Chains A and B, each alone.
Chain A
Amino acid sequence: MRSLGTVGRVPRRALRRRLIAAGASAVALVAAGCAEDAPQDTWQPKGDNAQRIHGLQWPVFAIAGVVLVIVMAAIIWAVFRYRDRGQPIPKQTHGRPALEIGLTILPALILIGVAIPTVGTLLALSETDDTECVVNVTGQQWWWEMDYPVQDGCGGVERPIITSGQMVIPVGTNVLVRGTSRDVIHSWWIPPLNGKRDMVPGRVHTVRLQADEPGIFAGQCTEFCGLSHANMRMEVVALTADDFETWKANQLADYQAPAAETAQAQGETVFVQQCARCHQIDGLLNADGTPNISEPQLHVYSGSAPNLTNLMTRNTFAGATYDLVTENCRDEVWEASPEEFGARYLEGVTAACLNEVELREWIRNAPEKKPMYADPEELEETDAKTRGMPYLALSEEQIDQLIAYLLERK
């Protein structure tokens, strides 16, 4: 039986093991920062704005690091040098004006030195006068909607384009993002292209994006916004000017109804009956020939649901939580060279590349696939409206027909 004096003591061997484990964890954490395949890495700028931030964070990080090392070294030295060895308490002194003033002025100078380039960078990043293309971004639980208003910018937009999950922009163009929210506060952040911007309901916030080369740049909502906050992702796709024009033209192309008595036509019927309450497909007609107009404002808390007119031109669905394409096809697009990227992306989702497994699971039971309620078994409505896509109780045959229909939406 151990005496009271040994209770809680850690044997030397156990202590060594713990220290090794802690050290290994620290090394692993530091090493994780060196990962190259990290699409949301803030240290890999892909545009002018992100480059400005990058140019600021390096010297600030260096200065902070030097200060940290000096302060920690001084503390460790003082702790070791003046540790208790049974010596008498030294004479206590109070008041060293020169030292106190010095230790006030020195940090102040360091902060001023950091503040000047910081303010300059902030002012430069907030500039929007030089933008040539406007995209409205609206956040809601838990996906992002993007619409391109009528404008001369973006190479000219004659009719609004509306999409979700992926924003497509022309390469080398300063794009003005005008953001807001339909429900709670969200935050827009594409780390390779610029800093964060909160999106507050009832307010319009601006942020400028610019990409140097074609590619896909991933982002994430960075303001906790509810249960599926972690699943509220978004991507910016940069295309060359020609590819962007192609993409625009495709987005504004007329609706092509499926041929009669096909699985796609049956899928269209299922869509009108089950999905069109919330999801809009421009050009879709009701059985009586009138335009089908969705009414998400009556069924969804945020008042909106993704427009699926050109769903298969995107690579993601469900708030960019899942890929619409299989992993191999995804890699082919993500890893394509800048010269090949546009063509690969504009191919859209083909039957061979469709991530049918996860799309099928999503349509079968969306709340199970993406948390929207604390208890998916008891879907609690808010003001008689659902948050996110509800469980629709579709049959497997209906799901087959829907997927066949949706696969043509591009």
Chain B
Amino acid sequence: MFTTGSKLLVGATLLAAAAAVLYGVLVEGALGTVGLSSAAVALGLVAGVNVAARDSNVSAMDTAAIADAPAARPAPGASLWPLAVAVGGVLVVVGMVTYPVALIFGLVVLLVGTVEWMVQAWSERASADAGYNSELRGRLAHPLEFPVLAAVGIGLIVYSFSRIMLFLSKTGGVAAFGVIAVLVLAVGFIVAFRPTLRGGAIGVVAAIAAVGLVAGGIAAAIGGERELHPHETTGDLAGEGQCDTTDETEADENASQSIAAKSNLAGTVTLGEDGSLVARTAGVEGEQEVLVIGRSNPSNIRFDNESGEERRLVLDLGTRPEVDEAGEVVEGSEVPDQRCTALVEEGGSQLLTVTIGEPSSSSDTPYRFLVPGVDGAEVEVVVP
């Protein structure tokens, strides 16, 4: 009546029940008794099921059961998905107490592993034909697997490329990728003109190239980006009344410092070594003492400091009515209307983007560029 497995479970049930009684008598507190009693009940339940299922053993005399019983079916194939699920679970736990990225990655691995495991298990039970089962699995999983794997693969390659390019110097990058392009072309020619090459050999070369690229990307990511040219920012300090200071002030992070802006200048204003301030603009030969800037037009002015000291460029637009914190105009009170760069080091440059809404003829005093601390350094600004 009792099979081998049943004996173990029945014994464990009795042991748990006895332990519960002893614990309740000898030790104070009901928690242990409740726990051991629960274990006895659970073990008894499992023992009952096992007795009913007869340890899933099939009688050697029952030929029909040998063919039909679940235990008679072929063992499931080897699978790495349980391992992936375990890794995902660990990452989730670790991620919850360390880095969110580990948690997210763990959740993804857990989800993917679970789904793949379920699909594989489902397909392996579809029939006794392993080939058919495999095809069935592919029919369900491939439409999802291939695009996702392709996207991940492309992302990995692009990311690796970007890390390598940011790691290498500009010249080194051109040289390295020039060589790589030649190699790709050469391999392409070899493959095209030697059709007898085995597919396996081509696959090995491609795999080596891919691994090399990803390894290079990882190494470059660890090595960090090359030193990029720092883009100084423009200060719009008029509101703070800080244009007239020679102290360093906080720069305006919103100012455009893009290459596009720097390459499309309305004009250049240069402070020379002798303290002279001159303007230049595309299409007009030589230095100018008057710079024309379009009205209501965002204009990029580059300030070149060729003097021996840190200086800032100030666009002086006269005065404007003072506005209080509530945005109301303060009657009878005027404040300087100025735009300026932050302090620019010796030999440095900085961009000042200005939009002037009112023509220069509307001001009692001419609009002008000037440099605080340098007497006579002025360029008149005319806004038609």
A interface residues, Cβ below 8 angstroms from B = 128, 131, 134, 136, 138, 145, 147, 149-153, 159-162, 176, 178, 180, 182, 201-206, 280, 282, 291, 293, 295-298, 302-304, 307
Contact = CB atoms under 8 A, between A and B. Distances in A.
B127 interface: no
A143 to B, nearest CB: 14
B5 interface: no
B46 interface: no
A297 B353 CA distance: 17
A204 B264 contact: yes
Contacts of A178: 282-283
Contacts of B282: 128, 176, 178, 204, 206
B233 to A, nearest CB: 16
A206 B283 contact: yes
A202 B298 contact: yes
Contacts of A134: 283-284
Contacts of A304: 295-297
A386 to B, nearest CB: 14
Contacts of A159: 382
Interface string B261-298: 10011100000000000000111110010101011111
A258 B261 CA distance: 45
Nearest to A175: B283
26 contacts: A128-B282, A131-B283, A138-B294, A147-B292, A149-B284, A149-B382, A150-B292, A161-B384, A178-B282, A180-B297, A182-B296, A182-B297, A202-B256, A202-B300, A202-B353, A204-B265, A205-B264, A206-B283, A282-B361, A295-B358, A296-B296, A297-B357, A303-B297, A303-B357, A304-B295, A304-B297
B359 interface: yes
Interface string B350-384: 00010101110110000000000000000000101
Interface string B1-28: 0000000000000000000000000000
Given A202-B300, A293-B359, 11 more contacts: A138-B294, A147-B384, A150-B292, A152-B285, A153-B283, A180-B294, A202-B298, A206-B282, A296-B296, A303-B297, A307-B384
A291 B292 contact: no
**Listed residue (B290, B295, B298, B357) with the most chain A CB atoms within 10 angstroms of its CB:** B295
A145 B264 CA distance: 19
A136 B294 contact: yes
B97 interface: no
Contact of A149 (B265, B292, B355): B292
Contacts of B290: 150
B260 interface: yes
Contact of A160 (B260, B355, B358, B382): B382
A337 B130 CA distance: 92
Interface residues of B, number: 29
A291 B382 contact: no
B285 A293 contact: no
B352 to A, nearest CB: 13
B361 A128 contact: no
Contacts of B353: 202
Nearest to B266: A204
Contacts of A202: 256, 260-261, 264, 298, 300, 353
A128 B353 CA distance: 24
Given A202-B264, A203-B260, A136 B358 contact: no
Q: Which 7 A-B pairs have the closest CB atoms?
A: A303-B296, A297-B357, A149-B292, A203-B264, A293-B362, A176-B283, A160-B384
Contacts of A136: 292, 294
- Of the candidates A204, A298, A303, the one having the most CB atoms from chain B within 10 angstroms of its own CB is A204
A293 B260 contact: no
Given A149-B284, A204-B282, A162 B384 contact: yes
Contacts of A291: 361-362
Interface string B79-117: 000000000000000000000000000000000000000
B284 A297 contact: no
